[in-house]
Structure 1
């Protein structure tokens, strides 16, 4: 049987770890569109590629786009990954689910200075605007 102080220390440690993990995974507000998840994510992927990567946007210079639109889970998504470590943990995930699509964006980039730009761009593209 564990000593009560050991159990207390473990619960405090788990609470701190949970808070740290939650702080690293900032989420944008969920947006609902009038289209299904796949068509919404296709539209977002095309605009993100044109506006964030092909236009040489400095915010995304060290990243690359990794689309995962063929999802067996029903959540097509795009990943923004480090250009030097493309198989590493994504810096941004934008995914949609359902019909009408419920959209969310999360990852370390959503807790940085680029969060407002990402949220604005993704919301605009999800609603049909193709502009950068």
Structure 2
């Protein structure tokens, strides 16, 4: 009786293995399109390319990230380097999933505004580099 049980167990294991092989593979995870994940990418790009690199266009400013937002709108602010409490010169924020980006403030009307818009869009889409 023992050999019959082993044969049944072996048959059951083969059937389970065959079913497992037929299962569809789960797709790889996609880049997170949430507002927070998007603004984290933008903040990293802005910090590295605009501020840490010593870019002269941003030398008079500093980055003030506000990613932990209870309003559901994580954002980054660009403020005067010597008066960070003053009104922001640039606000970049995202909302929803997929994230809807918005950038506004006096810097957007300056010649650097077009570059800011292009950089933010590239970083939000997952691009890296300056």
Shared fold (TM-score greater than 0.5)? yes
Higher relative contact order (CA 8 A, sep 6+): 1
The partner residue of 1:43 within 38, 41, 44 is: 41
Describe the SS at the equivalent of 2:65: strand
Which aligned pairs between 1:37-76 and structure 2 lie closer than 5 A? 37-76=35-74
- In the other structure, the counterpart of 2:75 is 77
Unaligned runs of 5+ in 2: 1-30
Which has the greater radius of gyration?
Answer: 2
What SS class does the counterpart of residue 88 from structure 1 fall into? Answer: coil
> Partners of 1:63 and 1:49 in 2: how far apart?
11
- Answer yes or no: is 1:90 the counterpart of 2:88: yes
Deviations 1:101-122 (CA, angstroms, capped at 9, x unpaired): 0001000000111111100100
What TM-score, normalized to structure 2? 0.75
Q: Which runs of 4+ in 1 moved over 6 A?
A: none
Report how many residues are paired.
100
Give the gaps of 5 or more residues in structure 1: 1-32
Task: Report the 3-state secondary structure (helix = DSSP H, G, I; strand = E; otherwise coil) of the residue aligned with 2:70.
Answer: coil
What whole-Å deviation, never above 9, does each CA across 1:10-66 have from its counterpart, x for those lacking one? Answer: xxxxxxxxxxxxxxxxxxxxxxx9700000000000010000001111110000000
Scaled by the length of structure 1, what TM-score is found? 0.74
